[in-house]
Amino acid sequence: MKKTFTINISGSIFHIDEDAYDKLQTYLRSINAHYGSSEEGREIIADIESRISEIFNEKLSSKDQVVTESMIDEVVTIMGKPEEIFETDSEEVEDDFKKQKVYKRRRLFRDPDHRVFGGVASGLSAYFGIDVVVIRLIFVLLFIFGYGSSFLLYIILWVVVPKATTTAQKLEMKGERVNISNIEKSIKDEYEEVKKNFDNMREKRGPQVRDGFDKGVDFAGSALRLVLKVVLIILGLGLIIAGIVSLLTFLGSLIFTTSVVGPFANMHFSGMMMPEMLFTGMGIKLFSLGLTLVIGIPLLLLVFVGIKLLVKFKTNNKAIGLTALALWLGGIVLLISVSLTQVKSYIGSGTTYANTEILDNFDGNTLYLRSEKNIDFNWQDENFDFDGVKIIVKDDEKLVIGEPTLDVEKSNSGNFELIMKKKSRGRNHDDAIDNAEEIKYTWKQVDSLLIFDQYFTLPEGDKWRNQKLMITIKVPEGKAVYLDKSVKTIIHDIENTSNTWDGDMIGKRWVMKKEGLTLSRD
């Protein structure tokens, strides 16, 4: 036994059992909910109801028959489930389209339909509303006269700017114009608003204090936005330029040892020679790679942030951030591990002692110490100095040279003597001794004149192993040395009775007295 209801659909009366009634009600309700109460919606619902009533009429042989649940199922099969009806509903398409028109601001995409390489230029052209030929021309000119900066920029844009693949993206690509006049307009709008708010604020001053205060806040807000917008544009441009220039400089110095980039052409980034000086074999390449990652990634991010400030486009910030972080950390790990594996080259230390040489006798009491340039090198020349040992570039060849240190002490033998000590580090003691013996250095005596080379040298290919060369001149009591100005760079902490600083000792004669080296009054 089942309860029945009497219903009126589209002017016809039907008997319907309880289950069927519930089902039909749910069905019509969901259709109702979708089409709503607009006139059009009501008309659609009326049409559907009238069709349902027609179907009932066809199915029922007599007026007394009851509409059952299975009949409702049949109706749903014929009319379609609510979602089937809505699926092919044309208005939704229209709605989407309208929404797009209203809300879609133009975004930067790469345009695959008009591309030469990655569609960056055609995308920029669509974004700024500038002819693509102009954009390409700018790229080419920047490439020729901007030291290839546009190439770098192009690659960065290629990587970070998404390609317009769907129709919606292609629409967005050409969405509401964003060009110079547009930016100008939006700034002008902001300005107008600021002005309006300002005027309002002045009018409303007085009785309506509170209102005035609100307007003041409004005014401050829009003024701030205007300033912020201008600042963002300047900041974006600044970041891009700074990032690109630093990147080019860095890459240039890595490849050519000196930067060839315009304004920095004469700057020295000789630090890039460091890996070559310190590491052997693969170490050099790996260290350079690590260095590139650690320095290059932040610079790339700088450019990226700059572009994002200027141009609107969608990016997977998380993915880019994580990739950058991973690469950067990778670079750090590489630097550390290369350094660690190379540390073993420095564990041992060794010192060789050349025999004490007794200098030839000469007339007079004073030994003249002079140093002569054995290598044509000025400090302005390109070099990389690492604790007294430098690597220099001479006729495109790299030389490792170092300055010896010269000390003067008292001789106990009654003769002038010269002691040369060479020091180095290495994998072990023997290796260190070998390295120390590689140090090449010459000096000569001409009567009372002792001439030192300004630099010791290392054979080509030798690495920095903290090589040191220490020369000690032993002066017997009662005799004297004259320090020529040329030894200024090599004398090192010479003890004297007046505690005179090295730099002030040159150009003077020093007598070895019982208490030590003393400035001669003669």
Partner 1 sequence: MKIENTKAQMRKGVLEYCILSILSNNHAYASDIIKKLKEAKMIVVEGTLYPLLTRLKNAGLLSYRWEESTQGPPRKYYAITDTGRDFLGELDGSWQELVDAVTTIKS
Q: In angstroms, what is the minimal distance from the CB of 42 to partner 1?
A: 10
Q: In angstroms, what is the minimal distance from the CB of 310 to partner 1?
A: 34
Q: In angstroms, what is the minimal distance from the CB of 91 to partner 1?
A: 6
Rounded to whole angstroms, the Cα distance separating 202 from 72 reads 70
With beta carbons less than 8 A apart as the criterion, state whether 405 and 490 touch: yes
390 bridge partner residues: 385, 401
Closest to partner 1 by CB, 14 or 264? 14
Distances (CA, A) of 130 to 82, 138, 179: 48, 11, 8
Closest to partner 1 by CB, 8 or 323? 8
Q: In angstroms, what is the minimal distance from the CB of 165 to partner 1?
A: 12
Closest to partner 1 by CB, 168 or 180? 168
Which DSSP string do the residues of 431-488 spell out, in sequence order? Answer: HHHHHHHT-B--EEEETTEEEEES-EEE-TTPPP---EEEEEEEEETT-EEEE-GGGG
Exposure of 68 by Cβ count < 10 A (0-12 exposed, 13-18 middle, 19+ buried)? Answer: middle
Closest to partner 1 by CB, 57 or 413? 57
Q: In angstroms, what is the minimal distance from the CB of 88 to partner 1?
A: 4
Closest to partner 1 by CB, 40 or 495? 40
With beta carbons less than 8 A apart as the criterion, state whether 92 and 34 touch: no
Rounded to whole angstroms, the Cα distance separating 390 from 387 reads 8
Closest to partner 1 by CB, 18 or 47? 47
Q: In angstroms, what is the minimal distance from the CB of 51 to partner 1?
A: 6
Strand order in the sheet with 4-9: 4-9, 12-17, 66-67
Q: In angstroms, what is the minimal distance from the CB of 283 to partner 1?
A: 50
Q: In angstroms, what is the minimal distance from the CB of 48 to partner 1?
A: 5
Strands (E), 236-361: 348-353, 357-358
Closest to partner 1 by CB, 11 or 503? 11
Closest to partner 1 by CB, 28 or 310? 28
Collect contacts of 41-48 with beta carbons under 8 A, ≥24 apart: 46/10, 48/79
| Site residues (vs partner 1, CB under 8 A) | 10-12, 31, 35, 40, 43-44, 47-48, 50-51, 53-54, 57, 77-82, 84-85, 87-91, 93
| Amino acid letter, 466 | N
Distances (CA, A) of 520 to 9, 448, 483, 487, 503: 129, 17, 12, 18, 16
Contacts of 229 (CB under 8 A, 6+ apart): 186, 187, 190
**Using alpha carbons only, how large is the chain's radius of gyration in Å?**
43
